[in-house]
Amino acid sequence: MDKQELKELIKQKTPLEFCRRYLFDQNVYLFDQKSENSAKGNYHDFKCEIGNALNTSPNNVAIIGSGKFGFSMNPSKKELLKEFNHGSDLDVVIVCPEKFEEIWTNLRKLYYTNQTNVKEIHAGDVFSKYLVVNHKMDYRSTYMRDTIGLLQELKKTINGMFRIKRVVNYRIYSNWSDVEDYHEHGISVLQGLLNGPRGDKI
């Protein structure tokens, strides 16, 4: 799918329809295209590797963003539908209720025991019902440090197995409804921009 085709799909479909029909299907640019930026192996094995590491179904794992379509879906970027390149991050959604609850519980415990900066760092994420573990942060929690270690090892594993030599960002959600809500809103904002003057330049 080229940029113009993607642009027209976003403009024509409702945001929720676009998410369900295209954003969460099994066609992924990173694995489908053949270039120096492509991954080796297949998408299902990639999802299984992450699912096994976090004890969740591979059906609960999805690549989104520029790695999914070959173009960024972030409406806040200066360049709309910016092309995926060697410097692009890989964004991965993981639905894992148990892990979400465990991390959230531990973050609250840290806040209540005087590591108050966790609220500032994670409040926005929690409001949108997802969690991102910050590997650069010094969490005063054995569980959080172990979780960072698990995710860092997972990154190394998929970098080696699938030749993905780029930053991998994991967003952990409690359920798919929250995933849909978040991305439906993002597509709605992007749709509005593509229907305006900035979209006319693409």
d(CA 20, CA 187): 12
pLDDT in tens, 79-117: 999 999 989 999 999 999 999 999 999 999 999 999 999
In angstroms, what CA-CA distances link 109 with 18, 90, 100, 106, 175?
Answer: 38, 30, 14, 5, 23
d(CA 86, CA 67): 11
Q: Strands 61-64 and 90-95, how do they pair?
A: antiparallel
pLDDT of res. 68? 96
Kindly state the average pLDDT of the residues 8-28. 96
In angstroms, what CA-CA distances link 41 with 31, 38, 62, 65?
Answer: 7, 10, 16, 20
Residue ranges per structural domain of the chain: 3-200
pLDDT of res. 53? 95
Q: Is 114 left (phi over 0), alpha (psi -120 to 50) or beta?
A: left
